[in-house]
Chain A
Amino acid sequence: MKRLIAGVIAAMAINGSAQAADVMRMAVTTSFNNSGLADVLLPEIAKDLDLEVQLLVVGTGQAIKLGQAGDVDAILVHSLKAEEAFVEGGYGTHRTEVMYNDFVFIGPQDDPARISDADAATSALAAIAEAKASFVSRGDDSGTHKKELSLWQGAGLNPAEFGDWYNAVGAGMGAALNTASGMPAYIMSDRASWLNFGNKGDLALLYAGDPVLFNQYAYLPVNPEMHGHVKNDLALKLEGWLTSDRAKALINDYKINGETLFVFNANDKE
């Protein structure tokens, strides 16, 4: 009996090995992962390309850092300025747009700042600031956070001057939503993460649709000239797949509760 238990423990300690022949690492943002799209795409990629893609789910800032350090083979983020700087700095070979989703404003159901009546994203934020209603910000230098800051700027407001009603939590999308749910507070989230979020509590989707809230995702392979060990061939293979009709079908068909989340737009500009 002793030996049986020792054997079971030993067996559990042995790791299963990767099934696919090739393995690459990609840093993606929390908003992408929380949407659940990755769980749909990854198995298809494994099937079609015999490629296992290991995802590191981090904020945009950390994803960029990982790419710069050469700890991943490619990154998938949504922050145009940071992406351009990445390519400019020689860390990435090029930037390929893949798809976009949109940001939405979430808040307590009774909507104390009346943002559901707003005519623009910036007006909605101005209303929140005016009412000094509780607001949760990502505060983590992520793509979502940078977007939020640009919107405040567009409304002519400076977050550095805000009072206690503005809470910068320095966390990923899910954690920030948790905090907003607990308070309750307003928060800007990407639609996918919101739809997939399991702790909505008193929160509801109050405002969406302003084109300025569109959120473009781009794929950037890490530059092999900067880091010789990165699997650039695999990264390019994946890029080919992500811009293919196959990916288009999978992405456009991905729905939560009947709502489409992402719109495939690779090759649109060519």
Chain B
Amino acid sequence: MDLFPMTATKIESRRRGQQLVGPIDLTLGGQGITVVIGPNGAGKTTLLQLLHGTARLSSGKIEWACSTEEARHHQAFVFQRPVMLRRTVLENLIYPLRLRGVTKPNAEERAREWAGRVGLTPMLARTATVLSGGEQQKLALVRALICEPKLLFLDEPCAALDGRAIREIEEILQRARASGTRMLLSTHDLGQARRLADDVLFLLGGRVHEAAPANVFFHGPETAQARAFLRGDIVE
């Protein structure tokens, strides 16, 4: 059951006459972490939502190696602000498994295992809503990974976190990459982009301004705007 390659052809998203994103042509292979960067309002979040299927395409199409329905089943999304279910940490973790019909004892066992890997074990019985921002985002990430998705979207996952939390999250992402999870991550943090990216999509004004493997992009971007962006200038 393979999702990839994914091909997006001339996809666009328009709202109230305004062009939010597109037209964009894009192909995703099955390996590594693609980081999406660009100034605010460039359409990073919208692009991720379009590819995931939670935002509607105004035109264009997205094709997977399998059916779209199958593809949706093997994806997960981590939001900028984590959405916690008003339940305990353990119950949050088993939720996606229970949705798929995993029995409660099996789900709880898997949840405890994952929680142990990321240091969430002491919090398992606590209500998720009382956790700190970093812990909540870790929980959201693990909840996304627990079903072993083939493709994981992350929309600026560390935007509101402190250094220690960021490091812990990135560790989890590195391990996930190592076990073969494909990831599409948008970020504001150029340092994070450098640390995590296998390849880079630079968005500007809703379009892909430049796309390149990470080492190529960070050492010598082709376009002037990319260079300016890397320098830290304001790019419009």
A touches B (Cβ under 8 A): no
Q: Which residues of A contact B (CB under 8 A)?
A: none
Q: Which residues of B contact A (CB under 8 A)?
A: none
